[in-house]
């Protein structure tokens, strides 16, 4: 099974594709999609949509995992912009008939580290360990995307065993 994790954002969207084969996860591809704040919003959203569509074409995931929207009441504009980025990602998913699941960041951290309030550093170290990487990804956006994909692999395996 191929799982594509996406950590959505308007400026820097992280992605990570993994393969799950006989209870072993391996890295297929990971990186970031950057947009410029100098561009108008529709162009930034178009870039995210095109990049995700190409990523889906290239990695051929069986499922896409997206981080649930978390909005702080003091920053409603951030949630609004993040929602638009998530929307074009969901659209790319629908266009290619890829199933989509969402997890809260705390659920991912609990699955990966064992604590829902784990630090970014703890998540980075666990992701690197689980994927047998020499060092953790430099970008926390990539780490978060890979953590989403790995967490989903654990969650579906635990459901199969029940």
Write down the catalytic residue from 46, 62, 67, 144: 67
To the query of whether residue 58 is one of the catalytic residues in this protein, the response is no
- Tokens found for residue 160: 């199969």
Radius of gyration (C-alpha) of the chain in whole angstroms:
15
Write down the catalytic residue from 58, 62, 141, 144: 141
Q: Phi/psi of residue 35, each to 5°?
A: -125, 155
Q: Phi/psi of residue 4, each to 5°?
A: -110, 115
To the query of whether residue 7 is one of the catalytic residues in this protein, the response is yes
Q: Specify whether the CB–CB gap between 68 and 103 falls below 8 A.
A: yes
To the query of whether residue 67 is one of the catalytic residues in this protein, the response is yes
Write down the catalytic residue from 7, 21, 58, 134: 7
* Catalytic site positions: 7, 67, 141
């Amino acid at each position: 099974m191929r799982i594509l994790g996406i950590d959505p954002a308007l400026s820097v969207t992280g992605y990570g594709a993994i393969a799950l084969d006989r209870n072993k996860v391996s890295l297929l591809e990971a990186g970031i999609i950057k947009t410029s704040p100098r561009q108008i919003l529709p162009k930034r959203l178009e870039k995210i949509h095109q990049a995700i569509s190409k990523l889906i074409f290239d990695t051929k995931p069986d499922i896409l995992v997206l981080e649930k929207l978390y909005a702080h009441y003091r920053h409603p504009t951030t949630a609004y912009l993040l929602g638009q980025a998530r929307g074009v990602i969901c659209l790319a998913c629908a266009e290619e008939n890829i199933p989509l699941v969402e997890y809260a960041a705390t659920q991912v951290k609990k699955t990966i580290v064992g604590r829902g309030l784990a630090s970014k550093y703890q998540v980075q170290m666990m992701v690197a360990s689980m994927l047998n990487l020499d060092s953790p990804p430099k970008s926390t956006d990539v780490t978060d995307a890979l953590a989403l994909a790995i967490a989903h692999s654990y969650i579906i395996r635990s459901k199969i065993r029940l």
